[in-house]
Amino acid sequence: MSGQDPVEIFRQEAQELFEDIEQGLLDLAHRPGDRDLVDAVFRGLHTLKGSGAMFGFDALAAFTHHCETAFDRVRKGEVAATSELVGAVLACQDHMRALADGRPAEAAAGEALLAELHRVVASAGGSTTETPAASAAADPTSAPAAPGLKTWRVKFSLPADALVNGTRPLPLLDELRELGECTVVAVTDAVPDFDALIPTECHLAWDVTLVTKHGRDAIEDVFIFVIDDMTLDIQDMTVARASVETPAKAPAEIVAEAAPQAAAAAPVEAANEGRAAKASGDTVRVPAERLDEMMDRVGELVIAQSRLKQLAASSSDIALRAVAEEIERLASEMRDTMMVVRMVPIAQLFGRFRRLIHDLARDTGKSITLSTEGEATELDKTVIERLADPLIHLIRNSADHGLETPEQRRAAGKPETGHIVLAARQSGAEVVITITDDGRGVDRARVRAKAEENGLIQPGQVLSDNELLQLIFAPGFSTAAAITNLSGRGVGMDVVKKTIEGLRGAIEITSTPGHGSVVSLRIPLTLAIIDGLLVRVGNGRYVIPLSSVEECVELSVEQDIRSAGRSLITLRDQLVPFIRLRQMFKTGPAPDPHQKIVVVSTGQERVGLVVDQILGDHQTVIKPLSPFHADAGAFSGATILGDGGVALILDIGSLVAAGQRHDAQMRAAS
């Protein structure tokens, strides 16, 4: 296995930094006086700048420097964290993302963003010239006399392997110089004898006297990347001078006392808990494709284990059976562990939408708040990635079509601010995600008119409310007339529905006129391996996802005759429609005398599936159908069985919908 590309590592870290910075900025828009948020944003920008420079992203580092400077001024109370400033930095961040991703970013666009940032900084209380610290550095004679300046003695040394690991002391010293008037003295006392020297190791130390307006935090921030491993001593010499009468030692003397013991020195004062946790190796960053590879291997293992189980079952060798059972247990545990490894909290996904709402509010002139619930709910990472686009579209729809303007809301007796709630919760082997808005609700008359206009329904055709709402998801419903620059983007709800169904999920919508709409997505936790119920219908074998199975009942010949072709059974006083899979799949000769009904459900809807035999549970490695069979609506995939045969996996959503249609027809006929 080869090492990971350092540039790629930087890009991954940069993505996390961008997310942190963005969240901080969005929070700051609501809490402009929150110092912790200002510090967090500043720290994020500072880290991004330093890290970018370290990995050769010079344009990114240079651009980020301007945003960092702006936030440094916010930190010092010179500039207010206005929503305009937050918006300008957010816009700059998009440019930074492009630079970090290596996407072509126009220099002119970057300059325009910076010009806007400088304008906003100036209007928020600051001037657009360089910071006072920089001015002080340029004019050292004026610095010591200026009020508010402090003299700091900064002594530091780096671990021996620092240079090999990519740490560059010179930029650290440059950054210290940026803080104010600086005298830098390199200390070479700890450099080993020439013959004992390992020339790639770093044995230098530095003693820096810094006169600056900045505090200890700013000095510590310079060492943000290396602070956990280095020796750093920061002394406020202003205080020291006042309290100690004896003359200060020469810089070289002071460092000479400390430097030889550099490696064994006391921990750095400002060690940050978060950074310490990261450094302690609690988590490991793994490329997503490696997880995918591992999942594939586990899938193959499960198939091989299934084959072994079958061989062992037909063998009288006790030892073979014991090994087969052990392998089955281990494969099952391995599968479960692998599943957990791939799970990520949905917060990762939800976090992105705060920015979306911020931009939507700006673009529509509406006042919108976003609440999220159940952010700790976990989903397979692949599912999360594929959910992003549909959710963006649904949220845009809610903000653009669902929510009214402040005036309209006021007229309707509602608060001016519209509210969108994004919630997730686990329900069995599924996650239910809802997008709720308190807007105007779906305009049924408009939907009907549009559907008639597009030929989706006939004029005057009788439809239930649910059927009418379902028209929104019909291909061709979204037309140019319905598309705005926000929600349309050339994509209709039919594409959203198709994407969700591609995830073996389901989408539903409920809406109350004047009160808003709720779009619910039911998404399986994983797309890779599921527990299934293996059944036989005629000569074919099929897998029913176990998460959908409610119960199994027998369909005797007498009951079958009693149903008189109506395909309904009574279960605990409730009529449940059933589908004869034998007829649907046109498979096999005469049915078994004792057929079974597997009752499956999605949400509140239930339907029975009539099968000839229930073969038992089966760990199902899901393989996608070929493009030629992708339109076979009743199946969501296929799996390989232990004997090398193939079983199709039933698409429960399609089957339940078919059962509902059948039920409706029966009711209409009776």
Partner 1 sequence: MSDVGLGTISFAGEVTISNIGEAHEQLGALLREQGGVVIDVEDLTETDLTFVQLLESARRKASENGVGLSLNKPAAGSLLEVLRRGGFLDDETSDRAQFWLQGAAQ
Q: By the criterion CB under 8 A, which residues form the site for partner 1?
A: 163-164, 169-170, 173-174, 183-186, 188, 191-195, 197, 199-200, 202-204, 206, 208
Instruction: Report the nearest approach of partner 1 to the CB of residue 232 (Å).
Output: 16
State in angstroms the smallest separation of the CB of 164 from partner 1.
7
**CA pair distance 550, 531, nearest whole angstrom:** 14
Cβ atoms of 595 and 560 within 8 Å: the answer is yes
Shortest Cβ distance from residue 156 to partner 1 (Å)? 12
Nearer to partner 1, 162 or 581 (CB): 162
Sign of torsion over alpha carbons 41, 18, 385, 54: negative
Report in angstroms how near the CB of residue 364 gets to partner 1 at its nearest.
Answer: 51
Residue number, 194 or 628, with CB nearest to partner 1:
194
Distances from the Cα of 108 to the Cαs of 105, 295, 487, 535, in angstroms? 9, 45, 29, 64
Is residue 470 within 8 Å of residue 456, measured between CB atoms? no
In the bound state with partner 1, the residue whose beta carbon lies nearer, of 192 and 475, is 192
CB closer to partner 1, 36 vs 174: 174
Give the C-alpha distances (Å, rounded to integers) separating 243 from 153, 235, 239: 15, 13, 6
- H-only helix segments in 405-553: 406-411, 444-453, 465-470, 493-502
Three-state DSSP at 518 gives: strand
User: Which two tokens mark 8?
Assistant: 């790629």
In the bound state with partner 1, the residue whose beta carbon lies nearer, of 146 and 197, is: 197
**Residue in the block written with tokens 């991004």:** 48
| 8 A C-beta contact, residue 613 and residue 588 | no
Tokens of 607: 């339907």
Q: Which two tokens stand for residue 84?
A: 């305009």
Of 120 and 154, nearer to partner 1 (C-beta) is: 154
Instruction: Pick the closest to residue 500 from 388, 649, 628 (CA basis).
Output: 388
Closer to partner 1 by CB, 199 or 616: give it: 199
Helix (H) or strand (E) holding 532: strand 529-537
In angstroms, rounded to a whole number, what is the distance separating the alpha carbons of residues 357 and 59? 29
* Closest separation in Å from C-beta 160 to partner 1: 11
- How does DSSP classify residue 401? I
Contacts of 25 (CB under 8 A, 6+ apart): 41, 86, 89, 90, 93
Residue type, 603: G
Q: Which of 112, 40, 46 is nearest to 81 (CA)?
A: 40
Instruction: Supply the minimum distance, in Å, between the C-beta of residue 177 and partner 1.
Output: 9
Q: Which CB atom, from 193 or from 573, has the smaller least distance to partner 1?
A: 193
**Residue 222 and residue 469: Cα distance in Å, rounded?**
57
Minimum CB separation of residue 201 from partner 1 in Å reads 9
The least CB distance from residue 154 to partner 1, in Å, is 11
Q: Of the two residues 184 and 486, which places its CB atom closer to partner 1 in the complex?
A: 184
State in angstroms the smallest separation of the CB of 144 from partner 1. 18
In the complex, the smallest distance separating the C-beta of residue 182 from partner 1, rounded to whole angstroms, is: 9
Which is nearer to partner 1, 190 or 549 (by Cβ)?
190
Q: Encoding tokens for residue 640?
A: 């390989």
